[in-house]
Chain A
Amino acid sequence: KQEVTQIPAALSVPEGENLVLNCSFTDSAIYNLQWFRQDPGKGLTSLLLIQSSQREQTSGRLNASLDKSSGRSTLYIAASQPGDSATYLCAVSLFSGGYNKLIFGAGTRLAVHP
């Protein structure tokens, strides 16, 4: 059974710091891995999607890496800003039972203070 773990569960940093959020998964037979952002009480915003054949993806100050063999992904946030405060979710995509499904981690709650 695929399990996704995110470390740390919560993080509080001063503005300007570079951050690394970690995601690990137990089964390497994934199709892709997505990082999402969720603001309190809101839906999910997709940040980056890494296909299983790729090693990393970049968007602005965000960079996500994927190491399928070791079952790990990291989300790197450069020069953090208060507007980055949110919960960051990692999800792996599996093909199981004839359909494609996402398995989510519990998230990392990030607070960036001025």
Chain B
Amino acid sequence: ETGVTQTPRHLVMGMTNKKSLKCEQHLGHNAMYWYKQSAKKPLELMFVYNFKEQTENNSVPSRFSPECPNSSHLFLHLHTLQPEDSALYLCASSQGQGALSYEQYFGPGTRLTVT
């Protein structure tokens, strides 16, 4: 596997379910990100992790819970979601963070539908 991978690619869940999205990067990067892309809205940053430490949550509702066990893996745990949470969830990684401009590499995304 190369680049950034995400699983599952598609997920349908009820509002009372609990599920998790997984992201893995094979680029040796130290920073990882979760983005949300809703229909007809720009991509929104949800979470940033740098060296496994969360540095930003961007006022995301608590029904979204990130986890970064190491620099290569990132999870997004979902529980009691709302239909408006249906979106494409994208993971990205970059070489680092801080006052330097690093290119971000994106995964293919998980298409989430909440019923």
- Number of A-B residue pairs, CB cutoff 8 Å, is 67
Q: Is A19 an interface residue (CB 8 A)?
A: no
Contact of A43 with B109 at beta-carbon distance under 8 Å, contacts A98-B55, A99-B55, A105-B42 already known: yes
- State how many residues of chain A have any CB contact under 8 Å with chain B: 28
Are B103 and A44 touching (Cβ within 8 A)?
no
Contacting residue for A31 out of B42, B43, B88, B101, CB 8 A: B101
Report the Cα distance A51→B109, complex, angstroms.
26
Are B43 and A89 touching (Cβ within 8 A)?
yes
Are A104 and B101 touching (Cβ within 8 A)?
no
Q: Is A85 an interface residue (CB 8 A)?
A: no
Report the Cα distance A25→B66, complex, angstroms.
30
- State how many residues of chain B have any CB contact under 8 Å with chain A: 30
- Name A5's closest neighbour in chain B (CB-CB): B42
A41-91 interface (Cβ within 8 A of B): 41-46, 49, 51-52, 89, 91
Chain A interface residues toward B at CB < 8 A = 4, 31-32, 34, 36, 41-46, 49, 51-52, 89, 91, 93, 95, 97-102, 104-107
